[in-house]
Structure 1
Amino acid sequence: MTSEAQSFPEAVADAMRAELPMVAERAVEAIIVAVPGYADAFQGPMGRKISGAVELTLRGFLQLAAAGGTADAGTPGGPVVEAAYALGRGEARSGRSMDALLAAYRVGARVSWRDMSATAVAAGLGPESTARFAELVFAYIDRLSAASVAGHADELASSGRARERLLERLAQGLLVGSPHAELVEAAQRAEWAPPRTLTVVVLPAARAQGALVSLDARTLRSTEEVPEIEGMPDRTVLLVPDAEGPARPALLRSLEGREAVVGPARPWWEASGSYARVLRALRLGMVPEERAPLDTDARLAELVLRADEEALTDLRARVLAPLEGLGDTAREKLTETLRSWLLHHGRRDQVAADLFVHPQTVRYRMTQLRQLYGPGLEDPATVLELTVALGVALPARSSDDDEG
């Protein structure tokens, strides 16, 4: 770069260097006019940083431009690049895009070039060197712009990852039932506005991302593994805001075909109760249908009856003891009839329709049952025990159950 160094002598650099404070001041004034978004920013600490950065940038450029063959004036030095990078990060922390800063760079470069080139020409810089000077100025600004863009992107990525970690910790605290005060503090740290309620949804991990597209943007996702359940694939937990009441059908529709299990809506700080309900349903072997999600709110009676499977088995064995002397087929038919009779409050036609048999068949079977149970079928306590014991659906009937 020796020829370029000769075309940009130290005397010219000295003349421009003397003008730097005024050039920087005029550049800042022009930026405020051209980029109104910076009018307030220049009044505070950010303004002092930008003003100082303008002069530092110009001084660094002149130092490189006058360095002869030892440097390329289009490549900013370390401190200048670091300052530009820090400006980009500052913009991200302030919640602004890069548009304003890049506009400020363009305005600052134009004003600086206009004033500095006038000084350079007055100090004896020739046309060819002045043109080269223009190229170097704008190449220099391009490098600084790139550094600021990198700083902005890095800050967004860093803050995004940090917030994700905070949201994950909040989700985990909600699932394990952390104290209310701790949850409020965790929500504040994560900048997460608590909803009225949260509804826990557990679904295969591979289907979670697709579900999130149609859910409330405040939906939390836990990265903790769901306790292993035999025969179940890896599952993910979502905590969906305000999906109670009229909003619940929309949630269920959005989860169709995703093998989801949906808990009840609970006050947001009590979401652990919704999670416990879902886990209980899964451990009991309750699974979604082919397309529809498993809505635990629609299966409350079954969940209650199966809360203690061993006790239910014992109760069922005791109340069905009068049928023990029958053959398997007869016992199954009478048990099925007794269950339908209890659920339909003895309405013979409804029982017949439920069992796909003739009403006379229902009458015949109930006669048999009354003979086996005696006055027990009229005893409220016995009827209650039978209803509880038979409330959970019995195994499907075999195909040879025909009866006229």
Structure 2
Amino acid sequence: MDEALSGVNDFRLSEDIVAPLRQRLPDVAVQTIAAITATVPAYAEAFAGELGAKIERAVRAALGAFLHLVSRSAPDPGAPLGPAIEAAYALGRGEARSGRSLDALLAAYRVGARVAWRELAAISVATGQPAHTIARFAELVFAYIDELSAASVAGHADELASSGRARRRQLELLAQALATGEPADVVIAAAERAEWAPPQSLTAVLVPGHAVRPVADLLDPRTLEVAEAAPDLPETSVLLVPDAHGPSRAHLLRVLAGRGAVVGPARPWLRTRESVTRAIRVDRLGAGGTGPAAVDTEEHLLALVVTADPPALADLRERALAPLAEERDATAAKLVETLRSWLLHQGRREDVAAELFVHPQTVRYRMSRLRELYGDRLKDPQWLLLLTVALAVPSGE
């Protein structure tokens, strides 16, 4: 009980004074509900019908508890307050569950206190109570209403905190289901439990763990977070960004610039696993976002395809470079470098020389040696394809 209300121990109204107040409680409750309904728009519809009758009974009970508290018939002044406080606390939780704001609830208390006191004061004056008694009575009425409103505020806050934690957990489970590719019916059910409206697409974004919160604040509020991208990426999280496809992708890449992000492809939301897998694979290629721009996985499709089966790529390289097996390592490395550039530049010597920072004559010499080693295979379309694929990604990438 707060300090102001504790003063009730020194204040008592005789039963002959309380009796008319108690007799008029139904009328006071009706007046209070009518005023709240008219003054606080959020309650205009809520108090209609059966719910209105329940609220009216609750108001009557709260005022009755107060009258019991200040009457001489109450041996323990604190006894009737407990149930009233519990009811006010439950009211606050119920209001939070129904989606009404704390502002609306506190406004209802203010209106209710004003109207209840006006009616109770009128009754007190009519029974001939002295001014100092009515003034003290007013003080206790408002202290009592403050107690009830404080309990409701606590209930409202506790319910929001509790429901917020529950929803965050449901969103975490949904994100995990999407990232791991759970069946569609499982994912849809998880989205419904989390009260999450599915977008058209989701885009996986890998970010360093320390940057998750700053990055998430820049993105769509519906963005989901997967705490760990993969077992071998312990310090990396995945953000699942809604509807970042089409023109929106360019904006996403700009927003993520300089934040160490790897951006996967946009996929229909039930195929999010594909985007997550793509982003992780590009990160494992060593293309992680350490530069000023975010890493766009769409710029690394060739490397992804060529390195999809590392053992097969190693076998392909071995076959393609077999003619160089007898060359010294340093010489073979220069020849491989020249052959790769020659294939990419379609035999244009000047372009190869510019890329390798060597004299065109050096390119000519090296190509002569390569033709000696490969013979007609450098004219065979199948061999040229084999060499192009084998050397598409420099060794070590």
**So what's the TM-score if we normalise by structure 1?**
0.91
Unaligned runs of 5+ in 1: 397-404
1:199 aligns to what? 203
C-alpha distance in 2, partners of 1:62/1:301?
81
- Per the TM alignment, residue 380 of structure 1 is displaced from its structure 2 partner at its CA by 0.9
1:220 aligns to what? 224
Runs of 4+ in 1 over 6 A off after TM superposition: none
**Cα RMSD (Å):** 2.2
Deviations 1:213-261 (CA, angstroms, capped at 9, x unpaired):
11111111123x33322xx552211111111222222222222233222
C-alpha distance in 2, partners of 1:203/1:76?
56
1:251 aligns with 2:252: yes
**So what's the TM-score if we normalise by structure 2?**
0.92
2:3 aligns to what? none
- Native 8 Å contact 1:168 1:221 kept in 2: yes
Count of residues in correspondence between the two structures: 391
1:171 aligns with 2:172: no
**CA separation of 1:142/1:3 partners in 2, compared to 1, >3 Å: closer, same or farther?**
closer
Unaligned runs of 5+ in 2: 1-6
Deviations 1:126-175 (CA, angstroms, capped at 9, x unpaired):
21111110000000011111111111111111221111111111111111
Deviations 1:305-355 (CA, angstroms, capped at 9, x unpaired):
111212212211221121222222221111111001111111222212211
Task: Tell me the percent identity.
Answer: 55
C-alpha distance in 2, partners of 1:200/1:55?
56
C-alpha distance in 1, partners of 2:229/2:72?
64
- Aligned to 2:249, the other structure's residue is in SS state helix
1:81 pairs, out of 85, 88, 102, with: 85
C-alpha distance in 2, partners of 1:122/1:248?
74
C-alpha distance in 2, partners of 1:185/1:309?
38
- Per the TM alignment, residue 2 of structure 1 is displaced from its structure 2 partner at its CA by 8.9
- Aligned to 1:194, the other structure's residue is in SS state coil
Larger mean CA deviation between 79-88 and 267-276 belongs to 79-88
- Per the TM alignment, residue 383 of structure 1 is displaced from its structure 2 partner at its CA by 0.6
Larger mean CA deviation between 31-40 and 296-305 belongs to 31-40
C-alpha distance in 2, partners of 1:378/1:10?
115
C-alpha distance in 2, partners of 1:284/1:332?
22
C-alpha distance in 2, partners of 1:136/1:197?
59
**CA separation of 1:45/1:157 partners in 2, compared to 1, >3 Å: closer, same or farther?**
farther
C-alpha distance in 1, partners of 2:248/2:11?
72
Q: Map of 1:4-403 to 2, 5 A cutoff?
A: 4-5=10-11, 8-67=13-72, 70-71=75-76, 77-223=81-227, 225-229=228-232, 232-394=233-395
- Aligned to 1:41, the other structure's residue is in SS state coil
C-alpha distance in 2, partners of 1:188/1:196?
16
**CA separation of 1:88/1:76 partners in 2, compared to 1, >3 Å: closer, same or farther?**
farther
- Native 8 Å contact 1:337 1:365 kept in 2: yes
Q: Which amino acid is 2:126 matched to? A: A
Q: Which amino acid is 1:94 matched to? A: S
Q: Which amino acid is 1:346 matched to? A: G
